[in-house]
């Protein structure tokens, strides 16, 4: 059992627990926010998203960042130094060999998740695996099998579920306020910066794995059903002209087993002059209601003489500490590991979603409808 060595709430749930009855609602909400304990953590992959994981691990009151690893020593050192890790590695085997580490984030390029996730389970670690779970069904099945053998927790980090608009819509659906969900339209786009400058491995993934998966996860969560029939199209013009062999955009129509329908579209060739790197739209048509979510709506505009930025208020730092959905998703995983509870997004979810994403790519490449 893990030691209760650190305060677990703003002013320490441990101390509160000693003086207040457990049924006290304030105590219970603190318990919900931070499971007691101190989860020893490692982050594998210290790129754009891995640095974010390291910062969350350093900030979470019931988690301790022990080590960071990246093939690129400079990235590993920068993240380790910034977030106070005691160890920095360039070989993930060395990180996994540290017995004190109980859980790891695997934050590697989309197509490289399988080997490291499976090795982490074999080493007896809980795994927070970045989305997408994998880019092939075989890889997703192998990761799930490794988790089952280990008995450790696995969460696939579709962190957008922790955006308040998406979470509150789920709550409203569960309460029956919207009636039955029928149809979702979801768009998630990036500017050209992402495949040309941010990611060195854009040609190794496809938009269903990089972007559509976020919105597909939300729609599937709302619909409570699996994909039955998928028709998708894609085109390769702009990125191919730049020597990057991955399509510019995808559009996929998905019929679910329960009759719900989703339309998903993504591109990553929007001009870099756009005020924000992400463009998003989500509409949900229900039998008794309608929801329109634009999570990137510019509620915080930031203008200089060079450019206006729509910074949004979804995540970021307040007084140097990460806040928002990225941190909340991470905190949920830490709590689940400490409580030995199943996370909100499981490996089974990941496998089902992978099946649909692979079908989107197959349908777009073959021009055929794919039945699942």
Interaction site with ligand NAD (CB under 6 A): 44-50, 69-72, 75, 92, 107-110, 112, 130-131, 157, 159, 199-200, 210
Measured from the CB atom, is 16 or 206 closer to ligand NAD?
Answer: 206
Task: Find out whether 279 and 296 touch, Cβ atoms under 8 Å.
Answer: yes
Neighbours of 341 (CB within 10 A): 12
Which contiguous run of DSSP H or E holds residue 317?
Answer: strand 315-318
Q: Which residue is nearest to ligand NAD (CB)?
A: 47
Q: For the CB of residue 209, give the shortest distance to ligand NAD in the complex, in Å.
A: 7
179: alpha, beta or left? (left if phi > 0; alpha if psi -120 to 50): left
Measured from the CB atom, is 71 or 261 closer to ligand NAD?
Answer: 71
Measured from the CB atom, is 192 or 199 closer to ligand NAD?
Answer: 199
Q: For the CB of residue 36, give the shortest distance to ligand NAD in the complex, in Å.
A: 27
Helical H segments across 151-211, by residue range:
164-174, 193, 207
Pairwise CA distance, residues 201 & 129, whole Å: 18
Pairwise CA distance, residues 150 & 352, whole Å: 21
CA separation, residue 13 to residues 2, 18, 40, 41, 189 (Å): 16, 9, 19, 21, 41
The most distant pair of C-alpha atoms in the chain lies apart, rounded to whole Å, by 67
Measured from the CB atom, is 8 or 296 closer to ligand NAD?
Answer: 296
For helices 164-174 and 213-223, angle between their N-to-C axes, nearest 10 degrees: 20
Measured from the CB atom, is 51 or 252 closer to ligand NAD?
Answer: 51
Pairwise CA distance, residues 182 & 291, whole Å: 12
Measured from the CB atom, is 205 or 251 closer to ligand NAD?
Answer: 205
Measured from the CB atom, is 107 or 286 closer to ligand NAD?
Answer: 107
Q: For the CB of residue 152, give the shortest distance to ligand NAD in the complex, in Å.
A: 20
Pairwise CA distance, residues 68 & 241, whole Å: 37
Q: For the CB of residue 367, give the shortest distance to ligand NAD in the complex, in Å.
A: 27
Q: For the CB of residue 10, give the shortest distance to ligand NAD in the complex, in Å.
A: 27
Task: Find out whether 76 and 88 touch, Cβ atoms under 8 Å.
Answer: yes
Pairwise CA distance, residues 146 & 330, whole Å: 22
The alpha carbon of 269 is separated from its chain's Cα centroid by a whole number of angstroms, namely 22
Q: For the CB of residue 281, give the shortest distance to ligand NAD in the complex, in Å.
A: 17
Pairwise CA distance, residues 20 & 26, whole Å: 9
Pairing mode, strands 370-371 and 227-235: antiparallel
Q: For the CB of residue 4, give the shortest distance to ligand NAD in the complex, in Å.
A: 30
Q: For the CB of residue 111, give the shortest distance to ligand NAD in the complex, in Å.
A: 9
Measured from the CB atom, is 130 or 255 closer to ligand NAD?
Answer: 130
Q: For the CB of residue 172, give the shortest distance to ligand NAD in the complex, in Å.
A: 23
Please, which residues have CB within 8 angstroms of residue 91's CB and are 6 or more apart in sequence?
69
Q: 227 - beta bridge partners?
A: 256
Measured from the CB atom, is 88 or 107 closer to ligand NAD?
Answer: 107
């Amino acid at each position: 059992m893990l030691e209760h060595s650190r305060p677990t709430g703003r002013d320490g749930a441990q101390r509160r627990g000693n003086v207040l009855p457990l049924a006290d609602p304030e105590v219970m909400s603190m318990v919900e926010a931070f499971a007691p304990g101190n989860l020893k953590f490692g982050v594998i992959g210290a790129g754009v998203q891995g640095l974010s994981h390291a910062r969350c691990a350093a900030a979470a009151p019931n988690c301790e960042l022990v080590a960071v690893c990246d093939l690129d020593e400079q990235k590993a050192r920068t993240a380790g130094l910034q977030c106070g890790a005691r160890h920095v590695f360039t070989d993930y085997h060395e990180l996994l060999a540290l017995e004190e580490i109980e859980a790891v984030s695997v934050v590697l390029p989309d197509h490289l998740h399988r080997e490291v996730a499976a090795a982490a389970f074999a080493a007896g670690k809980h795994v927070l695996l970045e989305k997408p779970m994998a880019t092939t069904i075989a890889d997703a099945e192998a990761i799930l099998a490794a988790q089952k053998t280990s008995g450790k927790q696995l969460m696939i980090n579709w962190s957008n579920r922790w955006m308040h608009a998406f979470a509150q819509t789920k709550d409203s659906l569960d309460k029956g306020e919207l009636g039955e969900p029928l149809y979702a339209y979801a768009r998630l786009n990036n500017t050209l910066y992402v495949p040309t400058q941010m990611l060195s491995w854009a040609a190794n993934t496809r938009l269903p794995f990089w972007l559509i998966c976020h919105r597909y996860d939300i729609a599937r969560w709302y619909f409570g059903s699996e994909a039955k029939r998928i028709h998708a199209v894609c085109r390769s013009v702009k990125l191919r002209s730049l020597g990057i062999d991955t399509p510019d955009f995808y559009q996929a129509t998905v019929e679910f087993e329960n009759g719900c329908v989703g339309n998903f579209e993504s591109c990553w060739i929007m001009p870099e002059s756009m005020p924000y790197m992400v463009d998003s739209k989500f509409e949900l048509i229900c039998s008794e209601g309608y929801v329109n979510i634009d999570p990137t709506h510019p509620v915080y505009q930031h203008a200089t003489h060079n450019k206006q930025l729509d910074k949004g208020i979804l995540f970021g730092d307040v007084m140097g500490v990460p806040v928002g959905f990225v941190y909340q998703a991470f905190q949920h995983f830490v709590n689940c590991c400490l409580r030995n509870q199943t996370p909100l997004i499981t490996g089974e979810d990941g496998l089902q979603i992978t099946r649909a994403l692979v079908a989107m790519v197959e349908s777009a490449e073959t021009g055929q409808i794919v039945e699942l």
